[in-house]
Amino acid sequence: MKTNRRDFVKMGTVAGMGIAGIALTGSEAFGQKKDKTTASAKHDPNIVRVGFIGLGGRGSGHVHDSITVGGIEVVAICDINQEAIDNVQKIIAKNGMKAAKAYTGSDHSYEDMVKNEELDAVIIATPWEWHVPMAVASMKAGVPYTGVEVSAANTIEECWDLVNVHEQTGNQVMIMENVCYRRDVMAILNMVRTNQFGELIHCRCGYEHDLRGVKFDVETNTLKIGKEAHSEAQWRGLHAVKRNGDLYPTHGLGPIGVYLDINRGNRFLTISAMATKARGLSKFIDDHVAKDHPYHNINFNLGDIVTSMIKCANGETIIVTHDTNLPRPYSLGFRVQGTNGLWKGEGGGEWQDAGEQIYVEGKSKPHVWDKAEDWLKKYDHQYWREKGEKATGAGHGGMDFIMLNDFYDAVRNKKPVPLDAYDAAAWSAVSALSEMSVARGGALVDFPDFTRGQWIKRQPGFGKDLQFPTDPERDFINTLF
Ligand SMILES: NC(=O)c1ccc[n+]([C@@H]2O[C@H](COP(=O)([O-])OP(=O)(O)OC[C@H]3O[C@@H](n4cnc5c(N)ncnc54)[C@H](O)[C@@H]3O)[C@@H](O)[C@H]2O)c1
């Protein structure tokens, strides 16, 4: 699938690209790629040819859910672990599809995959430190659409790499932030866009998830971490040894970023973050292994609770919480508050979730919370009304299906991705910026403007829903640009 010059100009207008005088040269300049196979001429343009890098818990789920979405062919898969490859080949075979070409054998086998294969899209679900090198290689190899798991980037340099390579190649990168597609989160988007809460003033969110059993493999009377362990315990727990900041901000901040039109009329300006002492992971070791076990020598740097406060250009504040080392039920701790009311989404996002409450002045009984269910049903998003039944059974209550469907819709129709390089950079930057702020005792740190000034003009595009009118005041202001 190729992106022609007109498509690129269209994408550039929407995404606000090409304003920094970046030279676009060579065959990659307009999101084009070289023909890699002669078979490409016979390819059905309605079928998206996908390559998957990283086939662990998340990547294998993406393969399964992508097949359920339909209209795709799994052309190639890549992992350093043969078991993971075999497992995914089984998923492909079970669905009656042809085996994918497997790339393995080295940490850099993915480079051969993106260079050799004719791919319309690549999906990356590897440990965090591989996200940006892989996304950059994919875009540079001419793959027009790359989806990258969360968080997209670990450092400010990596955030800029995503933006710069996207602008230089014209190829798209989407941050696969599935919570933006959660059913209640999308219903609240409809409520925000139809002005039910008035002008937004303050938001809260976070990642409040007891990950002790993910950072360690828990076995009878012992634990494993790092090379001795499996899956995320191989790598995720090690970040808690070295780093101290909000290491996983985007599940909360993605939806809030969409509500607040971040990078599209608004932007994050500054952040201040503080971390508590670190006790949870050491106590977990104390509770599981003998007193003389070498794991007692591990000193964790990551504070058990990291709280960041962000100030936005349009005057809102956001409190973001990272809470992954202590015993607790799951929550993303949402609060979206405006001049006319608020949503409080404390729980896991199920329809009947007791944690979800809404108050809308003039509609709710004065000073009394409404249970959110009726509101959420009334404002159910078009994506869910149309696809909700099919999504049932896919990952994370169906939101993974809705997200992948939106991603492949962009690929198939050569549209800008709904959550783009600028979103990936701004949301993921919270990790590195909060680490800087924590290290300086909560000092205020500036966000880079990854859009290079284009945030003023860029228009909201995520989850456009035709049934509900958008905010007339904002629509009027948009006509002025
Ligand atoms: N959005 C969500 O809800 C969600 C849920 C879980 C995980 N994630 C994210 O997905 C990513 C993967 O998480 P996971 O739980 O699947 O981890 P995992 O450890 O189970 O899987 C990672 C896979 O990547 C492979 N890998 C590592 N280095 C590689 C390389 N150089 N080349 C090819 N393959 C390589 C590993 O062998 C493994 O199979 C992480 O970024 C994580 O944060 C997101």
Clarify whether residues 313 and 447 are in a common domain. Answer: yes
Clarify whether residues 441 and 365 are in a common domain. Answer: yes
Clarify whether residues 170 and 209 are in a common domain. Answer: no
- CA-CA-CA-CA torsion for 219, 59, 85, 172, nearest 10 degrees? -150
Q: Which atom of ligand 1 is least distant from the CA of 248? A: 43
pLDDT computed for residue 11 by the predictor: 41
What's the CA gap between 76 and 74, in Å, rounded? 6
pTM for the predicted model, two decimal places: 0.91
Clarify whether residues 291 and 436 are in a common domain. Answer: yes
Q: Which domain holds residue 115?
A: 5-177
User: Domain for residue 393, yes or no?
Assistant: no
Clarify whether residues 357 and 436 are in a common domain. Answer: yes
Clarify whether residues 310 and 280 are in a common domain. Answer: yes
User: Domain for residue 362, yes or no?
Assistant: yes
Q: How many domains does the chain have?
A: 2
The pLDDT confidence band at residue 220, using thresholds 50, 70 and 90, is confident
Task: Enter the tokens of residue 218.
Answer: 């828990």
Would you mind telling me the total number of residues written for the chain in this entry?
Answer: 481
Clarify whether residues 355 and 454 are in a common domain. Answer: yes
The pLDDT confidence band at residue 109, using thresholds 50, 70 and 90, is very high
What percentage of the chain has pLDDT greater than the value 70? 87
User: How many other CB atoms are found less than 10 A from the CB of residue 185?
Assistant: 26
- Cβ burial of 241 (10 Å; 0-12, 13-18, 19+) is middle
Clarify whether residues 321 and 251 are in a common domain. Answer: yes
User: Domain for residue 21, yes or no?
Assistant: yes
**DSSP code per residue over 406-448:** HHHHHHHTTPPPSS-HHHHHHHHHHHHHHHHHHHTTS--EEPP
Handedness of CA 287, 215, 91, 184 (dihedral sign): positive
Clarify whether residues 202 and 349 are in a common domain. Answer: yes
CATH number for position 150: 3.40.50.720
pLDDT in tens, 113-171: 999 999 999 999 999 999 999 999 999 999 999 999 999 999 999 999 999 999 999 99
pLDDT in tens, 353-384: 667 899 999 999 999 999 898 999 999 998 99
Which amino acid residue places its CA nearest to atom 6 of ligand 1? Answer: 58
pLDDT of 15 over the 80 cut:
no
User: Domain for residue 389, yes or no?
Assistant: no
Which amino acid residue places its CA nearest to atom 27 of ligand 1? Answer: 126
Clarify whether residues 137 and 196 are in a common domain. Answer: no
Clarify whether residues 120 and 247 are in a common domain. Answer: no
Measuring from each residue's beta carbon to the nearest atom of ligand 1, which residues come in under 6 Å? Answer: 53-59, 78-81, 84, 107, 110, 125-128, 130, 149-150, 178, 231-232, 234, 396
Which amino acid residue places its CA nearest to atom 4 of ligand 1? Answer: 58
User: Domain for residue 399, yes or no?
Assistant: no
CATH number for position 295: 3.30.360.10
pLDDT computed for residue 27 by the predictor: 35
User: Domain for residue 412, yes or no?
Assistant: no
Q: How far is the CA of 238 from the centre of ligand 1 (A)?
A: 14
User: Domain for residue 313, yes or no?
Assistant: yes
Q: What is the number of alpha carbons within 13 Å of residue 161 lying toward its C-beta? A: 19
Q: How far is the CA of 379 from the centre of ligand 1 (A)?
A: 34
User: Domain for residue 392, yes or no?
Assistant: no
Clarify whether residues 99 and 216 are in a common domain. Answer: no
